Structure 1
Amino acid sequence: MLRIISYITYVILLFIAQNLCAQAAQEKDSSEIRTRERVLKAIDEEKERVVREEKSRLKKEVEFIRELETKGEITKEEAQNRKEEKARRTALNIENKLAVLENKRALVERGEEKGWEYLRGATLGIGIGSNYDGNGSRLIGIQFENVRKDKKYDRRTYSNIVVALGFNNALIEGESLNDSPYKTGGSRFFELGWQWKTRILKNSNAVRVSYGLSFQSNGLKPESNQYFEKEGEITRLKTYPYDLKKSKFRQDNLVVPVFFEFGPSKRTDYDDYFRYSTRKKINVGIGGYAGINLTSRQKLKYTSEGRTSREKIKDDYNTNNFVYGLAAYAGIGGSSLYLKYDLNPVFKSPNIKQNNISLGLRFEL
Structure 2
Amino acid sequence: MQRAFRSFFLLTTLTLVGGLHTAGASSRAAIQDTIVVRLPNQATLTLTVRDAAQLRQMKNYHLDSLTSRLAGYIAQAESAAKKSTTDQVTLQFYPDKDQPGKNLPEQIRITTRKKTANANRVDVLLNKSFGVTVTTDADGSKSYNAGEGKSKEQRQAQRDSTRMKRIEGTRTTSNFIFDLGLNALVNQKQYFTPAGQPEAVDLRTEGSRYVNLGFNWDTRLGGKRSPVSLVAGPEFAFNNYMLSGNDKWVSANGRTDVVRETDGRQFKKTKLATSSVNLPLMLQLKLRDAHYKPTFILSAGGFAGYRIKSHTKLKYTSEGTTYKDKDDGGYNMENFLYGLQGTVGYGGLELFAKYNMNNLFKANAGPDTQVLSFGLRLSGN
TM-score bin, normalised by smaller chain: 0.5 to 0.7
Higher strand share: 2
Deviation at 1:181, TM superposition (A): 0.9
- Residues 297 and 190 of structure 1, relative CA distance in 2, 3 Å threshold: same
Structure 1 residues 49 and 212, CA gap change in structure 2 (3 angstroms):
farther
Output the CA distance in 2 between the equivalents of 1:311 and 1:265: 51
Shift of 1:304: 2.6
| Cα distance, 1:50–1:254 mapped onto 2, change above 3 Å | farther
Q: For 1:298-341, what per-residue CA distance to the aligned partner results, in whole angstroms no more than 9, with x for missing partners?
A: 11111234432111111111111111111111111343121111
Deviations, residues 160-219 of structure 1 (Å, cap 9, x unaligned): 1101111112124336xxx75111222110111111112112143321221111110111
* Residue identity in the other structure for 2:267: L
Q: CA deviation at 1:252?
A: 0.5
1:86 aligns with 2:101: no
Deviation at 1:53, TM superposition (A): 4.5
How far 1:50 moved relative to its partner?
6.8
Amino acid at match of 1:249: L
Structure 1 residues 164 and 151, CA gap change in structure 2 (3 angstroms): closer
Q: Which residue of 1 aligns with 2:344?
A: 330
Distance 1:243 1:362, change over 3 A: same
Maintained 8 Å contact 2:168/2:225: no
Does residue 312 (structure 1) correspond to residue 342 (structure 2)? The answer is no
* Identical amino acids, percent of aligned pairs: 28
Q: 1:169: which partner in 2? A: 184
* Structure 1 partner of 2:238: 217
| Cα distance change, pair 153–326 in 1 and its aligned pair in 2 (3 A) | closer
| Contact 1:212–1:256, Cα closer than 8 Å, also in 2 | yes
The C-alpha deviation readout for 1:273-320, integer Å capped at 9, x for no partner, is xxx541xx0111111211111110111111234432111111111111
1:192 aligned onto 2:213: yes
- Cα deviations by residue, 1:334-360 (Å, 9 ceiling, x for unpaired): 431211111111111123321111121
Note if contact 1:290-1:324 (Cα within 8 Å) is conserved in structure 2.
Answer: yes
Matched, 1:52 2:85: yes
Partner SS for 1:185:
helix
In the aligned structure 2, how far is the partner of 1:214 from the partner of 1:50? 47
1:339 aligned partner = 353
Q: Secondary structure at the match of 1:318?
A: coil
Distance 1:248 1:293, change over 3 A: same
Note the 1:247-326 alignment, pairs <5 A.
Answer: 247-266=270-289, 276-278=292-294, 281-326=295-340
* Contact map agreement 1:170 1:357 (CA 8 A) in 2: yes
If each structure's helix is expressed as a fraction of its own residues, which one has the higher value? 1
Contact 1:171/1:180 (8 A) holds in 2: no
The RMSD of aligned alpha carbons is: 3.0
SS in 2 for 1:354: strand
Contact 1:233–1:350 (CA under 8 A) maintained in structure 2: no
Opposite residue 216 of structure 1, the aligned amino acid is: A
User: Highest Rg: 1 or 2?
Assistant: 2
